[in-house]
A and B are shown apart, each in its own frame.
Chain A
Amino acid sequence: MTVTMRAPSAEAVVPIGPFHPLQEEPELFRLHVDGETVVDIEVEIGWNHRGIEKISEGKTFDQVTYVIERICGICSTSHPIAYVQAVEDIGGVEVPERALYIRSVVGELERLHSHLLWVGLAGHFLGYNTVFMWAWKYREPLLDILEELTGNRNHYAMMIPGGVRRDIRNESIPKVREMLDAMAPKLEMLAGAIIDDPVLHARLKGVGVLSKEDCKAYGALGPTSRGSGVPGDIRRDHPYAAYGLVDWDVITQESGDAYGKGVVRVLECFESIKIIRGCLDRLEQMPEGEIDANIKEVPPGEGIGHHEAPRGETFHYVRSDGTNRPIRHKVRAPTFMNLWTCKETIIGESITDATIVLAAIDPCYCCTERMGVYDADNGKRLYDGRELIRLSRQKTERLRKELGV
């Protein structure tokens, strides 16, 4: 099929976003393209600002946990973990050991399902629908286990200031182990298929490179910075929950490109499994039941809590005046920092790589389905989201033929 190209001199604007029912963070990217090359990018956020910080000021400390759980449907336990730690930091509350292990188990199960979601969608954009199907298929047993442990596939409502709301019964632990044992070899197969694929190497290596210096300047977090060789991970650098009590490694890649970020996410899944297994070992040796420090009141003061969410550090600042409500609650999600790195990564890249470069920071891919390319002069639509995904897949297919695989 023939693709109509713009004349190199005529700069067009490609709006990506802003709305899609599945997005947790709607955003609008305006790509200025010259022919097929991106020459500039404007980022606009705030399309679905829900005023959660303000709502939080009107809720009690316990209620806030459930409000902020609704910030994001994918990392729905990350915000509560950071928030409850901030509240505990105000009064210096000591959380029972069993609750710390349970926090890590839920946090890592969530990381696993979030990374698998990303792998699936990245595969979809690149024309690897088998990867998409596999990744999402293997994600299902995880969500079932989360439902078994917490009562829900997402929005687990497990955290409360001072501990966790539900115990993980020791009788449930073998089921979790069984699921992890079944998942590990499949993940290995998936990782092998992704990491060794020559077409993916040709497609992703050297695309959307973020340097270490830019990581510092933009405050990049999580897999976005670890993919650039910056070994920052809140779980290791600021140990909390049970992350300092079990054995695991921080995964980094030096390349800084879309491939490096993807590899970090895939390999991190194995570390998550290691953490969960370590926590389950300890949970089995502990008596059930002691999971809550029973906080009666929050003294006046301020507290900070942070958690390594699947996309990077989630940061919460809470201030109390001694009543039962926070007087200020600042929430910073990792995408607020990672988003702006696209100013460095996307300029100079081809429009066919735009989907994967923007997806590499794991913002919300759903918005890319809403892409459209418009002529800046007459407002006429040139490409839509499907067309851009099709172009992206076409490039993969072309590389596949050239490489003879």
Chain B
Amino acid sequence: MPSVRLVDVVKRFGTITAINRLSMEIPDGEYVCILGPTGSGKTSLLKIVAGLTVPDEGEVYINDRLVVSMPPEERGAVYVPQQYALFPHMTVLENVAFGPLSRGTSEDEALRTAREMLEMMRLGHRADSKPDELSGGMQQRVALARGLATKAKLLLLDEPLGALDARLRVELRHKLRELAKESGITAIHVTHDQAEATAIGDQIVVLRDGRIRQYATPFHVYMRPQSLFVAHFVGGANFFQAMVAERHSDGSILELNQGLLVKVQDNTYLPGEEVVLVIREDRVNVAEPGEQIPSELYNVVQGEVLSSRFLGEFISCQIRLANGDLLTSRTPTSKTDRLLPAGQKVIAHFEPSDTTVYSYPPIGLTRELRVL
């Protein structure tokens, strides 16, 4: 039975609608990441589930019980804000024991549970420290221990790794997921970092302007983004303005700038329609002249390298195609660690199955994709 269910939830702050008729189900035991830019309503969503914010409309169910009027302390859902909110005047041990104590457990019992939790987090030796004496990563573990000590089954994490250095984030995110799985709890993890969401979520909920744009596994969000926004927000992609030239049962032919023809797998749009063609950066193959390439008629384009960048795991290449469009490719360093020089002639090619097509946005492509 689902652990959390929202039905047509609406939340307004003055004239701004933070959550716009949102419905969502999160099954028991899942680690779900809510991904979206700042202002997309992610924190409001979490606070509504926690009971810290009351929605203007809609219903919230936790374990199939309607909880809209239930105060936070009775919901069994622990909220961990970005800065962890450790109580500065209490020791680490007192912090972790706070939950059980507040719920009526005896002091002995509460302290025992607290010590157990701290041992599990390998922080037993810091039980008597004050929160500000601990590093960022340790504070995070204390915050988690404090939440788990209440035996709550629902963990609500608001940008739990946001306060940490980039490298530390990568190291600790897997531990977060491990912890949730080992404790058998349902976790809702809010973040603006798509690499993070992709790395640890069972499911990703992509949020924009208070509405769900896609709810799927990381694989599906990446391979089959449902909208331009999702395609742009999750992982790097190339966007081309195009028009449908032909439509067949197994795909379509699109016409790009200067008449360049591309074959795609999608066939939902009619000839003459304005569309946007999306190809993921790492689905573009770059071959130097003389290299072997598939003998497909379509999707092989001449181009010239504008610049190459070394990104560590990948090499990113900006290519000016023969038809004037700009293409960015991403090649794993394990395949080649050669940086192609500017001016190098190359051949870019890609499979029709690696493309997705969307209708052309009314406000124009540049504005739709604007992030800055």
A, B assembled together: no
* Chain A interface (Cβ < 8 Å from any Cβ of B): none
* Chain B interface (Cβ < 8 Å from any Cβ of A): none
